[in-house]
Every structure is written in structure tokens, then in C-alpha cells.
Amino acid sequence: MDSQIFYVETFEDPHAYYQQLKIYEDEMHITGGHVLANWIRQRGAYLGPGSPSVWSYEGLQRRLYRRWYQPLTRIFLETKVRECIQRLFSEDNPLKRALINDLETIVREFCLLAELGIFALPPVSQPDPALAFQKIVTSLMTDPQVRDIINIYHSVTYEHLCHELNEGKSIRRIYLYQLDKIDAMRMVFFHRLRHWGIKVVFRIPFYAYCPSISAPWRELYEAITGVGCKEWSYSCTAQFRKGQQLIRFLEGIDSAGAERRETLTRMLAPEDCLDLGIVEFNSPAQFKSYLRTHPPTNLKQKIAAPEADQLNQAFGDALPTRRKQEMAGHPLYRFIHAVYRCRRREPDFELDWNTFVQIAASPWVDTKQVSGMAAVGFLDDLSDYMQGVTTLKEIRRRLGCLEELQRASRVFDDLARDQVNRNRMARYLSNPLRVFVYVHGERYSVTLKQVVDLVSIVESMLRRLLPVEGTSVSVGAHFESWRRIIESLRGQLETTIKDDLPFFERFERMLLINFPDEWRAERPELESYMMVCLYGPGTQQNAVDVIHSLEQLDGLVLTSESIHLTNMSLEATQKSERNEFGHYLTNEWVRTAANRLSNQNWRSLLLRCLDVDFLWKSKLREGFTDFSLFYAVAFCRKKLTVSWIRQWHRHDAPGLAWHVLSSLYPKSEIENKIDMLGFRTSTPTSITENTSSFAVETPEMENTEKTDEIINIISQFPEVFYLDIDFCPLKFFYTAIIDQQPLYSTDFHQKLVFAAVASLLAEQADGRKQVREFLFPLFPQWTDTLKENLLITTSIHGLREYRSFQNVHYPSAMAGLQRLRSRYGQTAYKIREAYRDGKPIKVKWLKDWFRTLLNTNTQSKGGQHCRMCPHLSLCLEGVYVVDEDKHRH
């Protein structure tokens, strides 16, 4: 075999180079990203039978070391790490919880050691957590099951490589394209290839006349090959038609010598053809709007960014995917996720109200007596009443309090039954508790007793599925429990989800997976097993890569007409530049462990790999970031856009690339580009200008007879309802005509309502004592201190003054329930004054008010009173607190 370790071939123009690329059957081609791999596989000239062997590095590793990278293996290792932590650390050790919360990191760094062939860590002088990590590694390395998995990883042979990656054909040469990330694990793999007798050739972009731009490639690959760049193989030179100003800046051409300046000038075209856009998004919301109006789903534009995974996750609802249905949003799977958020601590279960609702209001909870899906409306209205619950026991207790509240409301109704005659307005005036939305059992498809039954059903299911927290169960037995539940619910489920049978059938098939008998896991790992089986290891890859990582840039310049580099902020571009080996492992610690290896050849090789790893992490990553910018500018096919997103990170600022391009290219050109993108336009059209037609049509002014008929109906309402007229017509219509009483569902409004009702009842003889004794317990979502403060800080006027509606006499103080603490405008006071002074509300006022609405086509009036309105979320012109200053101006 040739004495040279590795070889380097260079190219300059990627478009010309890859177009003439030839692939032979005894070769394997490896790229840094899957975009370039797909392009070479589809466009490269393959001269051989079968299919070309072209892989991304990550894809190759997952195929060659399939068992090692299998998600189930990683979860199994997490289970083993958890067992080690439970065994090595006592419950009162504060480090124990931190380690359990960091299982994924511990497993990842343990796997790094295993891949490097380091099976023992030297003693450390540092305190925890490094010492704890060493204990865990030592324990894992002595576990027979873990050692079996590691041995399988290191048993891969040349024959296995050819069989898995080249259809059994021999491999004599491996070409690696544009790898700008070379860590110790990759170096070990490259040396393993060479040990198998394969010639390893790196193909990289390199520009000898641009030493500053090419510096990271030169330093990295001289360290890898052990020879100077003059020994490399070079292709013909190319002239740059784009990005001349950036190249001059990066090379410092203005301060260079005459000879070098002349050489570089010859390589630059006379005219810069760069089509550049510089964009600043004012917020993540604006960036989401941009994604919706500029969907990157075709070859015309592709988006790349630092932190691409976080961006794809955050803006997923604005990004199209190949998957027509998102399983995570389906009720069947929301139920499964929610189950694993519960904790079984005998004799109870820990869960919050939202988790309970996702379990109870699903197709899984469906019996002949009660349907969970039918209870959705009731459970949703109870969300504020159930605020703060943490166990099923607390949920039961709250439901018991609600039953008492409904019973108290029925007492009021029974006392006034003969007077109200089922009139909803009259029932409200005789029963102030009816302002609470969850008192109205007739609104819902299920009764409170049926909701209590749901709690029992949920508890029974959780008891069958979840182990006691901190204990493990057989993974196979756990899946069998799911199968038994499905079997017991088959009839109801098939009826409930007949339109979604593919989801149900896939879950049934997944439950047939067999696990080794010795595989045991606690609740978090059981969830991980379930999620991997449910979604599959490649779920994320099945979606369109809408926002790519910068590692895909080498392929994007070939495949897309335009490229958009976004999130180019200071924080985002520097966040991942960590120089250490890992969270627990340090470069020094790993090097010390390598020096203690008994095999001298492996020790020397591993130390060289660690040298390259340290060079890349500590010195070259920033240089490769600059090169990525140059590469995109110089070789994008048509248009390049560079942007950053305000408020994505706190206290962030534009990155260096954004600033450099802003400075190098004329400001007027940049502003024009922003205009073209639609983010610097004239004053946006007000929503209200286009939505007035949404309101209910009003009678024409000429139809006097119809108008009089409507006014006649309105004039028969209780006078307390007319107080809403001073504030907003729409509030009056919603409250008086649709609901026929005020109904409050939010916690904020319910506190004010409670204060008003408690103050009303406290005015009776010995009233405050009775309120504390009987009313306070009916609202367990608030502390006694809060309820006491609401009571003593609320004053009610007009309790001894009464008005009448039909046969019901109600206190004038009911006005406090109607308007809460709404603020009056300067001119809206006529009805309020008459009501307060005990005077009748004149029908003439109602006529004048209604005719004014018709003349001005006014449906609603926004203002500070909106915060007290229960219909704010329904109103197109409602003013939220954050918008009040803008509304006043």
C-alpha cells in the first residue's frame, strides 16, 4: 500500500466540477450533507452496473453501524444509565436529579468514548459532575449487555462495508467531498478505511490565489494528510463572476502587495453579477409570515441557517411537508403522549388538568355510559376552575366542590321557580351564581357525574399502563398492556375513528414488535420506546427539509436557483462554537485516557485524531463559517438573500456576515431588495377596513315598522342589561340577545364576579361569616387569602334598592355583575345615571340609540371597557390591554 496516508484533490468552480464527475463501480462517494449526495447520485455519470455508491456521511454511518445508531439501542443505554444512577447515588444526593435529567447527554458522550475505543476513564481531580460521569462510565463498561453492543460496533469488517454500501462489489477508492467538519470520530473512521486497504481521497474547494479564504481548508487538510498543500492535486482555475467586493474584503486586497493584488484582480470578472438581498425581520412572527408567502418547496429558492433544527420546529406550522397528516396532532397520539406525562406515585397519579383533558377527551375513553370526546366543551370550560391541580385526587375534590356549587345554584333556582317560569333572564336575576359558565349543566353533552366517571376510567387505564415512578417494568409486558387495552376498546374505537383507521391500524402493527425479555425500562424510557416505534427512526427525515443547516450549502448551490441564508445573527452563528469535547468530557481528560491505552499503535493513531479534533474545534470553525459565506456569494446560481431575525434570541444583534455585506454593497440597493421582499411597504391596511361586512346586517333606515318592532323587543329586557349600551352595542347584543345573561369563563373575570357575588351575599345578617363558611369552599382554585382580599376590597352599592323584571325583584347591585369594573367614557353616562338614581330607562333613549347605530353602521366600540367584556375573543374590534395605548391615539 502507498506510504501516503490520505490524498487531497482540489477544485474551484463547483458547477463545472460536479457536472463532469464520473463514478466507477469500485468507488464510494461520501458527502458532508444529503443534498449534495442526492445531486451526485442523480446527476453523476455512473460507469458501472447496478447503482452508484453515494452516501452522506451521516447516512453511511447509520447504514454501516445500524445496530449502534438504532434509536432503540440509545434508549436501552439510557435505561442502563438510569439504573447506574439509581444504584450509585442516594435519594438525598442533589446531583442525582441533575444526572437523571441529563441522560441523553451522558449516553451521547459515553458513545463517543466507545467509538474511540476508550473503555476506561482515568481518575479525575475535579468534583462532581465529572466524578459522577466517571463512575457511570466505569459501571457501564462492566455491564455484559452494554459490552455486547459495543463489540458489535467494533466488529464491522471490509466485507460488511462492501455488502451494505456497494451491493457486494469491492471498494478500492473512497472519495469524500467538502468535509469541513472533521472530529476525532470521523478521523478514526477514515483510518479504519485505510486499514482495510481502501484509498481515501478528499476532494475540497481550494483557491491558492485566495490564501485567507482557503486558510481553514489548508490548515485542516495539512493536519489530516501530514503533507503540505503543494503536494495536493489541483484542477484548472476559474474566474469569479460574483462577490468580487467580498473577496477583496476577505483577502485584504487593498493592503496587499502589487503582485498579489494583480494576481487576484485577474481572477475577478470586471463586473460583479451578484444579485443580493439584505433583510431584517422585526420578529419571529414576521419571519413566519415570510415563510407562508415565500414557501421554499421548489428548486427556485432554498433556505439555510444556523440552528436549522430549532427553526424548523418553531415554524413547523408555516412549513409544508410531504406528510399529509401530522400524527402528533391526532387525538389518538395526543392521548399516548399525555399518558406518559403522568407519574404514578401510589396511591395517586400526578398530572395537570391539560394532561387529564388530553387523556379523557380522546377516542380512547369511550364507553356505553360516557364519551370522552363528548365532554370536550365541559372540560375546556373547567380549565380555570381546575387551575393548579396536580393529582387525580385533587381533580376529584374539585369536581366535588363544583357539584356543591351547582347544588347551591339549584337552590336559588328552586326558590324562584314559580316566578321565573323558565325565563333565562329572570333565572339569572334571581340567581347570581349563574354568571359562572360551569354552573349551567344544560350547556353540555355530559353531566358532572359522567365527568366524575371519566376520572375513574382514566385512573384505571393509567394503573394498567404506568409503572410506579422510579421502578422498571418489562418493555414487552408494557406493550402487551397496550394491546389488551386496544382489544377491550376495539368496538368503540373502530366506530369513533372510522375516518382515521390508518392511524389506529399503524399503532396496532407497532405493538406487535418483540423486545428481548431482559429489556426493562422506567416511564421516561418506555415513552421513548413508544415514540420511536410510533413515528419510526426516520420521521424527521420524511419531512421536507424546508430550512437546511449550513452543512447543506455545498449541495444547495447546485440544486436551487436562489439561496436564502437566514438567522445570521451574532448569537446564532457563535452559539455552537464550543471547543470542548463534550459537556462532561474535556479534551485534556480524553487525551489522558488515550495515553493510558495499552495498544501503542492505536494510542498513537488516536492521539493524532484528537489533534485534528482540537484544531477543528478551537481554531477553524469560525474560518469555515466565513468560507460558507464566500461560497454562497460566489457560486449561488441567481439570487442570494441574507437575513437575521430580531427577538429570536434575547439581546441579539446582526452577525458579522450580515454587517459585512451591508457595508460592502450600496445601501440603496439593499433597500430595494427589501422592498421586493415585501417587508418595507406603505402603511398596512387596517383589518377593520375590510371586515365591517362580517357584522350582522342591520335593518334599513327606511323600514320604520321593522325598526319599531326590534326596539319594542329590546325595551322588554331587564333594565340592568341596558348598562352595556353605554359601552358597546355588540356586547349588549351578545349578552342580552344571544346568551340572555352575562357568562364569564376566564379566571380574571371570575375573580371579579366572585368578589361581586360574595359582597352581595355578605351584606346579609352575619353574611361575611356565612360567605367564608359556605361560599369560599366552592371555589378551591383560589387561596383563602385571595378570596378574603377580593371580599374586603369590593364594595357593593344599591343592595337595598330593587328593580323588577316580570315577577322577579332584583337588587340594583346586580349592575356589578353586568359591567364588572368597566370604565366609562366621558359622554357615555345617561343610562348609568338613570339606573343609579333609580329612574326608569326611557324607551326614547333606546330608540335614539338604535337609530344612531343604523345611521353610523356601528356594530362595536373598542376601548378600555373591552378588558371586562366576556366576548372579547369574538369581537373583531375588541381592544386588548397591550393595544390600549395605540387605540387611544
Q: Which pLDDT value is given to residue 679?
A: 46
pLDDT, residue 762, reads 81
| Band of residue 828 on the pLDDT scale cut at 50, 70, 90 | low
pLDDT tens per residue across span 162-193: 999 998 999 999 999 999 999 999 999 999 99
Q: Is the pLDDT of residue 574 over 90?
A: no
The pLDDT of residue 855: 64
pLDDT band per the 50, 70, 90 thresholds, residue 492: low
Q: What is the pLDDT of residue 883?
A: 57
Q: Does the pLDDT at position 159 exceed 80?
A: yes
Reported as a pLDDT band with limits 50, 70 and 90, residue 321 is low
Sign of the torsion formed by the C-alpha atoms of 550, 553, 556 and 557: positive
**7 band by pLDDT with thresholds 50, 70 and 90:** very high
Q: Which of 752, 683, 731, 753 is closest to 862 using CA atoms? A: 731
C-alpha cell at 298: 421548489
Cβ(863)–Cβ(827) below 8 Å: no
Q: Is the pLDDT of residue 743 over 90?
A: no
Residues 373-385, mean pLDDT to the nearest whole number: 89
pLDDT the model gives residue 885: 52
pLDDT digit string (tens) for 578-591? 555 778 888 889 99
Helix intervals (H) in 252-319: 258-266, 284-293, 308-314
- Around 791, how many Cα atoms within 13 Å sit in the side-chain half-sphere? 20
Lowest mean pLDDT among 55-69, 197-211, 379-393, 614-628: 614-628
For the ranges 79-88, 297-306, 790-799, the lowest mean pLDDT is seen at: 790-799
467: preceding bond cis by omega (within 30 degrees):
no
Query: How confident is residue 791, by pLDDT bands cut at 50, 70 and 90?
Result: confident
pLDDT surpassing 70 at residue 741: yes
Q: Which grid cell sits at 335?
A: 392521548
Contact criterion met (CB below 8 Å) for 299 and 560:
yes
**Which has the higher per-residue pLDDT, 67 or 543?**
67
Residues constituting the chain: 889
- The answer, yes or no, to whether residue 698 has pLDDT greater than 60, is no
Average pLDDT over residues 694-706: 47
**pLDDT exceeding 90 applies to what percent of the chain?**
34
Q: Is the pLDDT of residue 25 over 50?
A: yes
Nearest to 646 by CA among 290, 293, 275: 290
User: Residue 888: is it exposed, middle or buried by C-beta count within 10 angstroms (0-12/13-18/19+)?
Assistant: exposed
Taking residues 635-662, what's their average pLDDT?
Answer: 87
The reply to whether omega before 347 is within 30° of 0 (cis) is yes
pLDDT at 267: 72
pLDDT given for residue 231 in this prediction: 87
Task: Give me the pLDDT at residue 684, please.
Answer: 31
Reading the block at residue 700, the C-alpha cell is 334599513
The domain ranges of the chain are: 7-57+169-238, 68-154, 275-322+545-592+609-677, 327-394+446-541, 691-888
Q: Could you tell me which CATH number the domain at 7-57+169-238 has?
A: 3.40.50
Q: Fold identical between 7-57+169-238 and 275-322+545-592+609-677?
A: yes
Answer with the residue of higher pLDDT: 339 or 308: 339
pLDDT score of 703 = 57
Q: Taking residues 601-624, what's their average pLDDT?
A: 89
- Considering only the top CATH level, what class is 275-322+545-592+609-677? alpha beta
Q: Is 718 helix (H, G, I), strand (E, B) or coil?
A: coil
Instruction: State the pLDDT at residue 153.
Output: 94
